[in-house]
Structure 1
Amino acid sequence: MPQTSNSRDQTYVATIDQDKVTDEVRNIAIKYDPLNRSGHEGFHITDDGELHIDDSKMIREHKLIEKKIPNDAIRIVPLPAETGQLVHQYGGNGFRLYELPSLEEGSVIGLLGRNGVGKTTALRILAGDLVPNFGTPGEDDWEHAITSFRGTVVQTHLEWLAAGEIETAYKDQRVDRLPGKGGETVRELLSSVSDVADRLLTTLDVRSLLDRSVSDLSGGERQRIAITATLATNADLYLFDEPSSFLDANQRFKIGRVIREHVREANAAALVVEHDLASLDLLTDGIHVLYGEPNGFGVVSDRLSTRTGINQFLDGYLAEENVRIRRDTIEFPSASGRKRQHTRPVLEYPPLRTKFPEFSLTVDAGTIYAGESIGVIGENALGKTTFIKLLAGRIDPDEGTVSEDVTISYKPQYITPDRQGTVRERLAAVTNLQSQRFKTQIRDLFDLERLYDQPLGSLSGGELQRVSIALCLSRDADMYLLDEPSAFLDVDRRVSIADHIRRYSDRTDRPVLVVDHDLFVVDRIADRLIVYEGVPGERGHANSPQSMQEGMNAFLSAIGITFRRDQQTGRPRVNNPGSQLDREQKASGEYYYPKR
């Protein structure tokens, strides 16, 4: 029997277009399969009449079949392997990064990929915080690095770094850890920046925060402060690690435009790690896809146009490099195709009103039905989290009442490991870990078992997010409220989490409300929307649940943004403000297109 390759060799996967599979294709595939010819099962016909081969049985020799097959019905493509120039390695058997992103003056280049494949490592090297060792830990050498990239833009950048002739500004991923000890104010924090432009304070809505204590700021406010401090630095290279986290959709698009304009005006270069595809689409001039084995190795692809890079990432196949980075394609089903028949009401709430010293919230009456998923969207500081806390019984309304007969499980917006112990111990405190329901509907779906023995305090932001969602859904409740479940998750995890939440609601017949600013997550998960309007920080108003089409139109028209569907993938894409399509959709009142 032909031998399969070992873990360090190239492995392959077959992609079969069943619509193109004819009798001729079946005969060729089965007849010339090297496994079939040696008495083992390779390509075969399933009980459903489809041509199939198990991924685990794919070998290099199957490439010979691809050359004989007409109409591209079968493609044999390699899975990710360690390839290219080894740039850096952590420890003897630690994570390895291959290649580096390119830089271009006046341009913003995006880095797109799963968590754990080297995006932050690439940023740290190009920021000068980490000297590449080219696979020999402990032997980091700028001269070696410069020589290794001879003749490239990266070489020039590394030469400047080594000589101290280039200024870099780096916005860290974890803005929730922004310094602010001893009651330090925003004004004091920004005083260390040489030139905080007056225009930045206004454009990024920071001026009103100057005399606030950093420790009292929300996640979105901390993000805006961190971006302000970064852009206020007179730098040659700006590096942003997830600049959209905690920001609402309007702020994401506004800050995307600010970053882009600043980089062009300064004739600087910029790299951005971002998991919000709408922001990435609007912000960048091109992207590198990073792929590999999370926490094992990562490869930086050649630079691609933004649209091509995102679409190939979603497809899971990088055509220019002929590598399949994901076994399955990420698809975007139309929201119009998932209308639910309303069955029994789970919660009917009357008009509600609550007042604070400087903020008031009014809520229109609404009904939440069994098994539906409801998205909650709106700008920051309009009371979305307050509404969730009203329903959860964490806050008593000043007017109206919420039924106490409905039990609600709540995942808060900000997640901190506020308890000691392991993941296993924390989960065991709220559910039976041995129950079949937990194993199939929670543990396996959220990939938790490998985290069981880790202390809560040691988890990454994404890992802690998954555990927090699992804790919420593990509790026995009539309804589940999830506040910003996509924060710190990469695109693959966001899609997976959104699908799992939706399926959980379907299978258990229990409603789920999700507050999130990533419109891809909302588009993927929601049957209906609750849309917020008002004046941030002063007054907010929550409308009754409405259809996706009506809700998205209302929300997007309020912030002046239009969306279209990508013709290739079906993903929602932001129209460039002022473009012909943007003007046409605004004129017709169609800000959100659910159909491809």
Structure 2
Amino acid sequence: MTNTETEEYVAIIDQYEVTDEVRDIALKYDPLNRSGYEGFHVTDEGELHIDDADVMAEHKLIEKKIPNDAIKILPLPSASGQLVHQYGDNGFRLHNLPAPVEGEVVGLLGRNGIGKSTALQILAGNSVPNFGAEEELNWEQAVTSFRGTTLQTHLERLRDGEITTAYKQQRVDTLPDEDGGTVQERLAGRVNDSDPLVDDLRLRPILKRSLADLSGGERQRVAIALTLATDADLYLFDEPSSFLDIKQRTTVARAIHKHVRESSAAALVVEHDLATLDLVSDGIHILYGEPGSFGVVSQRLSVRDGINQFLQGYLQDENVQIRRRSIEFPQALENPFSDAEVVFDYPELEKSFSGFSLTVHAGEIHAGESIGIVGENALGKTTFVKLLAGSLDADDGAVSVTPTVSYKPQHLSADSTRTVQSQFQQITDIRSQDFITRLRDPFEIESLYDRSLDSLSGGELQRVGIALCLARDADLYLIDEPSAFLDVDRRVSLADQISRFSDQTDKPVLVVDHDLFVIDRVADRITVFEGTSGESGRATPPQSLRDGMNAFLSSLGITFRRDEETGRPRVNKPGSQLDRKQQASGEYYYEK
């Protein structure tokens, strides 16, 4: 954020973390209290409080003295705009709102805990903005506050009850199977067998199956179909790409965009997969600030400018720095581990069961390399790992030396009886300097130690799951979908930390993920899974990123290009001049 003499500060107080020690430090060292004025004080309800107008840079001394994160003294960005909503005294603040547009999909891009869900709830009519006031306001007051803006009409329609909304929630993996019925029965009344959505979202093969038996990706597609099949004025999609493979993500993005355009409805999409966000959106709002403390919604930007400025960490028109460093995309080296020690090799393997067959071509794994695993869902990626680990015997071929494998599964279970700290204590020495420097601090685990696993958010549970996987003593590490529930900044950080771990320990790490942003960043080489989902799969040997991605994307008929400014992967529009050119040249994953 900018630093000027006129910079305004706010205090964010986590009352659950305010101990007697924190309270005493705040009262004793407050420069206002020591000068005879009132700064930090205890309310009649026993809560620590300070008025916004009284917070100043000098209060950061208190933040440094307290032993936890109970108090944060934060500068507000210079272009903070209108305070729209605040959660109680010294609570999270949201500035500005994104504007829905009929016939368009508006993307929301920002870190977790920055206010995206709050914005969705307000625009859906589920929450009335309070503009920082303690008393509850009504929609008439909201309309008055936004009079003369592009939001006025939308808020007037909310006030008059004229807007119908359809909301696809984030955690589709936890959706209950309410009545034990089939997918077809759940869709009945909204989607019939001839509806284009059935084929657009590849639902026909699962129509007769129970929701309880569906994978995360299948549940996601059902949830999206139910949302799009609702006759609504505003569609809200919270992370529609989670659990979907690369082909499904492009299919879903196109289905959402097509439906919104043809229905002349409006849509808001929260998405952290930049390729999907790029494909589905007509415009983008960036949300920035301090997660858990305050968020600011930027003005609308074009899709390309919005994503690029987000990655560069600087919003040009608003003159605000939202990140200290830009996110860069270094060009992949051609087989950087060709001279490294081969720590594990495997012959050609065959495995068949329950109507599915898998062929694994022989390959080698080198010390210290990170191997990305890409492919559509249900092609045998998990079976492949079990064969390598020796927990599953091949029908043909045999692994002579089976490595010990530490595995982070796609779906993480959350035990309510154990704390995060006890989970780590069970498998490693949490006081060792090696654990502290390689895992605890980089993954920001210590602040979660006293929490039970079932109290963690999806992103927090993901961080813990990856760190637990890497904390075990093993020959080979497999991490399945590390990007799920993580924002872009976290995805970059975790990809870099995984690469650093394999490099520092000389242990190979295999990463299964459908976000090409993550694979592009983490993988030294990749293994490609091809075939027919649910019927047969073929795993190639590990190969260079460029060769592997060309082979994989050609099987899907999808081409990517590199953005000229940032180098990030971008999906080409199907049938576009560049798409046709790259397919003709065989460069499906274009390198600069």
Instruction: Give the TM-score range, shorter chain.
Output: 0.7 to 0.9
| Residues 463-502 of structure 1: pairs in structure 2 closer than 5 A | 463-502=460-499
2:380 match: 383
Q: Give, in angstroms, the shift of residue 392 of structure 1.
A: 3.1
What CA deviation, in whole Å up to 9, does each residue of 1:432-477 have, x standing for no partner?
1101110000011111111111111110000000000000000011
Which among 555, 558, 561 is matched to residue 558 of structure 1?
555
Residue type of the partner of 1:129? N
1:225 aligns with 2:222: yes
Q: Give, in angstroms, the shift of residue 93 of structure 1.
A: 2.3
Superposition TM-score, scaled by structure 2 size? 0.86
Q: Is the 8 A contact 2:166 2:232 kept in 1?
A: yes
2:370 match: 373
3-state SS in 2 of match to 1:279: helix
What CA deviation, in whole Å up to 9, does each residue of 1:131-180 have, x standing for no partner?
22221355031111111111233221122122221111110011112231
Q: Give, in angstroms, the shift of residue 197 of structure 1.
A: 6.4
Which among 277, 285, 288 is matched to residue 280 of structure 1?
277
| Residues 175-186 of structure 1: pairs in structure 2 closer than 5 A | 175-186=172-183
Distance 1:80 1:346, change over 3 A: farther
Distance 1:353 1:83, change over 3 A: same
Residue type of the partner of 1:144? Q
Give the length in aligned residue pairs: 529
1:340 aligns with 2:337: yes
Question: Aligned equivalents of 1:367 and 1:138: distance in 2?
Answer: 65
Distance 1:333 1:79, change over 3 A: farther
Which among 421, 425, 435 is matched to residue 424 of structure 1?
421
Identity %, equivalent residues: 64
Superposition TM-score, scaled by structure 1 size? 0.85
Residue type of the partner of 2:350? R
1:572 aligns with 2:572: no
1:589 match: 586
Q: Give, in angstroms, the shift of residue 88 of structure 1.
A: 1.3
Residue type of the partner of 1:240? F
Residue type of the partner of 2:284? I
Which among 227, 237, 242 is matched to residue 240 of structure 1?
237
Which among 308, 311, 315 is matched to residue 311 of structure 1?
308
1:199 match: 196
Q: Is the 8 A contact 2:390 2:402 kept in 1?
A: no
1:293 aligns with 2:269: no
3-state SS in 2 of match to 1:531: strand
| Residues 393-542 of structure 1: pairs in structure 2 closer than 5 A | 393-403=390-400, 405-418=402-415, 420-542=417-539
Structure 2, unmatched stretches of 5+, are 12-56, 59-74
| Residues 51-66 of structure 1: pairs in structure 2 closer than 5 A | none
| Residues 129-278 of structure 1: pairs in structure 2 closer than 5 A | 129-191=126-188, 193=190, 198-278=195-275
What CA deviation, in whole Å up to 9, does each residue of 1:516-560 have, x standing for no partner?
000010011111110011111111111111111110100111111
Q: Give, in angstroms, the shift of residue 419 of structure 1.
A: 5.6
Q: Give, in angstroms, the shift of residue 482 of structure 1.
A: 0.5
Which among 123, 126, 144 is matched to residue 126 of structure 1?
123
| Residues 215-224 or 565-574, more deviating | 565-574
How large is the RMSD of aligned CA atoms in angstroms? 2.1
3-state SS in 2 of match to 1:469: helix
Distance 1:79 1:344, change over 3 A: farther
Q: Give, in angstroms, the shift of residue 574 of structure 1.
A: 1.4
Distance 1:192 1:80, change over 3 A: farther
Question: Aligned equivalents of 1:194 and 1:381: distance in 2?
Answer: 25
| Residues 16-27 of structure 1: pairs in structure 2 closer than 5 A | none
Structure 1, unmatched stretches of 5+, are 11-57, 60-77
Question: Aligned equivalents of 1:542 and 1:243: distance in 2?
Answer: 27
Residue type of the partner of 1:301? S
2:9 match: 8
Residue type of the partner of 2:178? K
Q: Is the 8 A contact 1:223 1:245 kept in 2?
A: yes
Question: Aligned equivalents of 1:147 and 1:188: distance in 2?
Answer: 45
Q: Give, in angstroms, the shift of residue 509 of structure 1.
A: 0.5
Question: Aligned equivalents of 1:97 and 1:433: distance in 2?
Answer: 37
Q: Give, in angstroms, the shift of residue 390 of structure 1.
A: 2.4
Question: Aligned equivalents of 2:377 and 2:79: distance in 1?
Answer: 42
| Residues 300-309 or 358-367, more deviating | 358-367
1:546 aligns with 2:543: yes
Question: Aligned equivalents of 1:9 and 1:347: distance in 2?
Answer: 54
Residue type of the partner of 1:270? A
Distance 1:92 1:218, change over 3 A: same
Q: Is the 8 A contact 2:334 2:544 kept in 1?
A: no
3-state SS in 2 of match to 1:183: coil
Q: Is the 8 A contact 1:117 1:293 kept in 2?
A: yes
Q: Is the 8 A contact 1:82 1:292 kept in 2?
A: no
Question: Aligned equivalents of 1:100 and 1:437: distance in 2?
Answer: 45
What CA deviation, in whole Å up to 9, does each residue of 1:9-43 have, x standing for no partner?
79xxxxxxxxxxxxxxxxxxxxxxxxxxxxxxxxx
Distance 1:7 1:308, change over 3 A: same
